[in-house]
Amino acid sequence: MLAGGTRVGLREICAADVGERYVGWLNDPVIAQFLESRFATQTLESVRAFVEQQLADPAVLMLAIVDADGGAHVGNIKIGPLSRHHGTADVGLLIGERAVWGRGYATEAIALATGLGFERLGARKLTASCYSDNVGSATAFRRAGWADEGVRPAQFVGADGRVQDQVMFGILAP
């Protein structure tokens, strides 16, 4: 375990994590409604290839979010790639298990990953963004101490066909 909290822990994702359940998260229209991966049907092969590519990149941390009680894989959080020139890296996350939505798992995972991004990758700043309708994600970043940095109006077309703003967040290394 790379980092642990009261609700979740973070560990490097591994090949065993890439199974039908994980692929199912990415193909579930409700879970994937705010993910760019929703534009293609995901398969075991495509997800395995993506995870392998991320794990091979030293400028990326691809982490499994696991339940602190039972160790079940409930989502992922990715930091990077780190820009060596600017010292910045983007953070993206997915809580795939709907049963744990709204329980603070994302907030805690973001807080833990933030520390790892600064310590392990050497980032000086981390950034993230979400669709304006993704209230849960925006709330999680704010509760984890990230600052609102701006809004790009009409940046995305949501899964329902409505145009949405992009809400941007950032946090500087201590």
**Calpha distance 97→64 (Å, rounded):** 12
Element holding 48 (H helix, E strand) = helix 44-56
How many separate domains does the chain show?
Answer: 1
Alpha carbon separation from 171 to 48, 63, 107, 152 (Å, rounded) = 30, 19, 14, 18
**48 lies in which domain range?**
3-172
**Calpha distance 158→131 (Å, rounded):** 8
Nearest to 151 by CA among 171, 167, 170, 129: 167
Q: State the pTM of this model.
A: 0.95
CA atoms within 13 A on the CB side of 97: 17
pLDDT tens per residue across span 88-111: 999 999 999 999 999 999 999 999
pLDDT tens per residue across span 110-150: 999 999 999 999 999 999 999 999 999 999 999 999 999 99
**CATH at residue 92:** 3.40.630.30
Q: pLDDT at position 2, please?
A: 87
